[in-house]
């Protein structure tokens, strides 16, 4: 059985649209199931995912307000990493979770901010890792 695992890095993301898809431009661990923006489950099973990011308001007029990176399963929210407005110019967010996926379920990381505003988000670094447990 082929191991299912991937790891990727986003070296910069700037957006202000709601639910903006994050593109990870550096693949750290190659996988046929990860395309830089989404993971597609090759088979039914239990999968582990970890996401982390650094919000950076020093550049690109990035917000100091709340910034989220949502993990979505088939475009439905399943969890988020959060960097709150109290963290100042730089803050971090992280999330780890385990999910049961069916073959062809799709996992995507998307960024957002407070529901009432559409601030410009600058994420200077973001990472995603995923692997199948069985």
Residue 34's pLDDT is what? Answer: 96
Residue 115's pLDDT is what? Answer: 60
Question: Under 8 Å CB-to-CB from 134, ≥6 apart: which residues?
Answer: 45, 46
Residue 3's pLDDT is what? Answer: 80
Domain containing residue 72: CATH number: 2.60.120.40
Angle at CA 63, nearest 5°, toward 34 and 121?
A: 20
DSSP-derived pairing of the beta strands 121-132 and 45-56: antiparallel
Domain residue limits at 106: 5-132
Each residue's pLDDT, cut to its tens digit, for the chain (134 residues) gives 678 999 999 999 999 888 899 999 999 998 999 999 999 999 999 999 999 999 999 999 898 989 999 999 999 999 999 999 888 899 999 999 999 999 999 999 999 876 656 678 999 999 999 999 98
Residue 80's pLDDT is what? Answer: 96
CB 79 within 8 A of CB 99: no
Q: How far apart are CA 127 and CA 106, in angstroms?
A: 18
For the chain, the domain total comes to 1
């Amino acid at each position: 059985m082929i191991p299912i695992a991937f790891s990727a890095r986003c070296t910069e993301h700037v957006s202000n649209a709601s639910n903006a898809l994050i593109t990870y431009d550096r693949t750290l661990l190659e996988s046929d199931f990860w395309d830089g923006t989404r993971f597609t489950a090759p088979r039914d099973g239990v999968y582990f995912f970890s996401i982390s990011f650094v919000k950076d308001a020093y550049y690109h007029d990035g917000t100091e307000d709340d910034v989220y990176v949502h993990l979505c399963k088939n475009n439905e929210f399943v969890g988020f990493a959060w960097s709150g407005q109290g963290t100042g110019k730089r803050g971090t967010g992280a999330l780890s979770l385990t999910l049961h996926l069916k073959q062809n379920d799709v996992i995507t990381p998307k960024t957002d901010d407070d529901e009432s505003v559409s601030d410009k988000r600058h994420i200077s670094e973001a990472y995603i890792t995923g692997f199948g447990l069985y």
